[in-house]
Amino acid sequence: MENNGFKSGFVALAGKPNVGKSTLINALLGQKVVIVSDKPQTTRNRVNCILTEDHYQIVFVDTPGIHKPIRKIGEYMVNIAINALKGVDLILFIIDAKDGLRNSDLRVAELVDKSKIPTILLVNKVDLVKDKEKINLMTEKIQSLCSNILKTIEISALTGKNLFELKQSIIDLLPEGPQYYPEDMITDKPSRFIISELIREKIFHLTKEEIPHSSGVVIEELKERENGVLYVRAEIYVEKKSQKPIIIGKNGSMIKKIGQLARQDIEELFERKVYLDLYVKVREKWRDDKNILNNVMEYKVEETKDGK
């Protein structure tokens, strides 16, 4: 296949937890591909999200926020994020205008600088900040720490501010190359992973305190029935017996709500009717259990193009 000016490449998003990486990817793709929540450390795994147009293909690499890990699951998440910065064509380093610079931003800046990969600095959530001087001081500080920043763009992933400019900047910086994925493919993750993520997102939205981070979802069964309905059997893991009744809710009200909202998203994504069967199981200290983490997170250090 001849290139004919076709551009393509891998673009990794880097930033501390909750800076809006997943929201930005969904906005750039024009549809919901990765889960979002207002709670930090929602993203647990690397997800390649693919935007294909006539003359380009951008593979956005969504990663967990880089933070100081406490549990084994945190170590996995940080390793995934750090490895995602290797062998890509471009990095989008995102900072939060509303939150200001924290030590976690400086840790990310150090990793981005070490990567030596061309980087665009994105100041997200500028719609929430009126103090222009605050934004200028933030960008100056990061630019002084990262020698590989090519340009800075102030954006709002939520309102869409400057996202067209961002997309054009990405395309301009990408090399000519092949189409890595089929044009109708929007993510490299299997259906089981995407469905488990959609269920987990509802748990993040509907529960509070330690419940969201203590929960995990595994798809035990996924099959299409003769009537065309997609049958999904999923297990929700929690760490304590006291957490199980919270997930289930009074008279099953909470798990019913989780199921209803998740099913709507799954049906929209797969464009078919879905029967969703949810079960709750107690798995003590599952976030420190390597065997369970392999199931919940599909953890592995993935390679980028050309095995880099």
- pLDDT reported for residue 186: 84
Q: Domain check: are 23 and 163 in the same one? A: yes
Decide if 304 is inside a domain: no
Decide if 186 is inside a domain: no
Q: What is the phi/psi pair of residue 146, to 5°?
A: -120, 110
Q: Domain check: are 164 and 232 in the same one? A: no
What separation in angstroms does the CA of 73 have from each of 41, 79, 194, 219, 261? 11, 10, 19, 19, 26
Binding residue numbers:
15-22, 62-66, 124-127
> What CATH number should be reported for the domain holding residue 66?
3.40.50.300
- pLDDT reported for residue 300: 37
Q: Domain check: are 234 and 119 in the same one? A: no
Q: Which two tokens stand for residue 263?
A: 């099913």
Angle made by CA atoms 184, 173, 28, in degrees to the nearest 5: 40
Query: Residue 211 belongs to what domain range?
Result: 191-297
Q: Domain check: are 26 and 162 in the same one? A: yes
- pLDDT reported for residue 306: 40
Binding residue numbers for GTP:
15-22, 62-66, 124-127
Decide if 137 is inside a domain: yes
- pLDDT reported for residue 249: 92
CA 210 to chain centre: 20
Q: Domain check: are 119 and 204 in the same one? A: no
Q: Domain check: are 165 and 220 in the same one? A: no
Measure the CA–CA gap between 256 and 272, rounded to whole angstroms. 20
Decide if 292 is inside a domain: yes
- Asked if 94 and 15 touch (Cβ cutoff 8 Å), the reply is yes
Q: What is the pLDDT of residues 52-86, one digit of tens each?
A: 999 999 999 887 655 454 445 445 555 665 666 77
Cβ–Cβ contacts within 10 Å for residue 86, how many? 13
- pLDDT reported for residue 82: 64
Number of domains the chain contains: 2
Residue type, 194: I
- pLDDT reported for residue 40: 41
- pLDDT reported for residue 216: 83
Q: Across the 308 residues of the chain, what is the mean pLDDT of every consecutive 10-residue run?
A: 78 88 89 56 64 94 58 52 77 94 90 92 95 95 96 95 96 95 84 83 81 79 91 90 91 94 87 92 75 54 36
- pLDDT reported for residue 64: 60
